[in-house]
Structure 1
Amino acid sequence: MNKRGLTAVLLSGLLLAGCGADDSDSTASSAAEPAVAQADRAGGAAAEKAAPAAGADVPAQAPNLRVDQRSIVYTGSITVRVDDVTAAAAQVTGIAAGSGGFVSGDERHSGTGSATANIQLRIPADKFNSVVDQVGKLGKEENRGINTEDVTEQVVDLDARIAVQKARLESGKRLLAEAKSLDDLVMLEREVASRESDLASLEGKKRRLDDLTALSTITVVLLDPEAVRDAGDDEPAGFLGGLAGGWNALLISMGVLLTVLGALLPWMIAIGVPAWLILQGVRRYRRRTAPANP
């Protein structure tokens, strides 16, 4: 091969190498573009995750609202007539302690031939029905009332507000640590104190709801055989209730009228009889003197 042919071959090789290098560079840059875009998307996702910490409004996950996961507040009352109020009260206290609860109130009254006790119990929610049944077996059950209140939505709302408030508090503390001027420091300290106060208030409400849902309230009324129970709640409603109320009002009014009449009768006798005698004497005197006058 002559020199011109050798030179042509070398130039062709150099051109092919240069083209290959250009293709490699373009391929590398094309492969790097998705990585940069992915990094940008990851940064955006991280920013979105950080948004709730700054108090941003984001849709929350739907809470678990199955029947066994709901927050229910149980309250009940039961009236039992027993032979010995003191002994029955001791049994009620034992039932409460045996179920893992306690007595939160105890009011007793005793008089001539009658005694009553009003005991308030705090019982774990899962033992509520069994405790009511045990108390009802201590004597003759006369009245029972059970009420329930579903506070699930309140609990879920408080949990969400507490989480947001904690994130806002942490954000405020971070800004406070980075304060550069005295004015910023004072303003941020005031804001952090306000957020701490709001968080404490929300946590107090949550603890109150947790207490009500964890421990049910049962009011036990014990009566001895001679005690009279207030039957105001047993009065009939509607026409019969109005008729009974009107009749009772009439009897009360008649009693008041007779009482007033009995109080006035002695005064009527003491003042009315002399006044009547004086009036009769004046009339007779006028009849006697009337013909003498022209």
Structure 2
Amino acid sequence: MTDEDRITDGAVSGKSDPVLRVDGLRKAFGGLQVTDDVDLEVERGSITGLIGPNGAGKSTLFNLVSGFYEPDGGSVYVNDTEVTGREPHAVADAGLVRTFQTPRKLEGMTVREAMLVGPQHQTGESVFSIFTNRSQVLAEERANLEQAMQTLERFEIAEFADTPATELSGGQMKLVELARATMTEPDVLLLDEPVAGVNPTLANKLKGFIRDINDEGITVLLIEHDMGFIMDLADPIVVLDQGRVLVEGAPDAVRTDDRVVDAYLGGPLDE
């Protein structure tokens, strides 16, 4: 199959095993329709890229899917479970976790403590369990702490374990946020511009980490304005324009599609 054969108008539907499915998703702010009947499927095990010009509705789509915005219409399914309009923690329970373009620095926490926010369904979250299942709570805390340190070492940021999260650079916080997201063991991870504002060396390191976690079974859907980065990492690429899915296909086919070029103000996509 050639790259030309692998591009379609709108999003490809009917994937064999979609971990995330969006049907007819709509959201308007005032008189501005930001997402307009978006249909999207993300195949389990893929690294899917989401691109589009500024104002295309990419971050809004992420906010709708992950529960930070409530849609005006349409539906969202994670692992065939409808999560439309649910709170972010409930969407995370269903298997979908996201990061943010500007990482959130947790006030008053060290990096190690921030990492421990990640694991889901901890017994110690219940005050009652602290008294009735103290041994289990302590065992879970030890296991989570060990996992947190192993994860920090894996992402090459263990040296910052005792550093207040507010003292990290933007690039260091990108690594911490990615590491913290993996602590939840999601089925699908949404990455919002993971290399925005970072140097090329760190961008390459992040690319390697994203490939590694994908190889281990985490499906990835990412937004990125760095065309060279996303075209090298993701397949398929979905193009959003004016709140709708314009095309979906292989990177080379998307890069040269006239409709995509026109959407980017009539100029070629930067590499």
Q: TM-score range by the shorter chain?
A: under 0.3
Q: Higher relative contact order by CA 8 Å / sep ≥ 6: 1 or 2? A: 2
TM-score by length of 1: 0.16
Scaled by the length of structure 2, the TM-score of the pair is: 0.17
Decide which structure has greater strand share.
Answer: 2
Larger Rg: 1
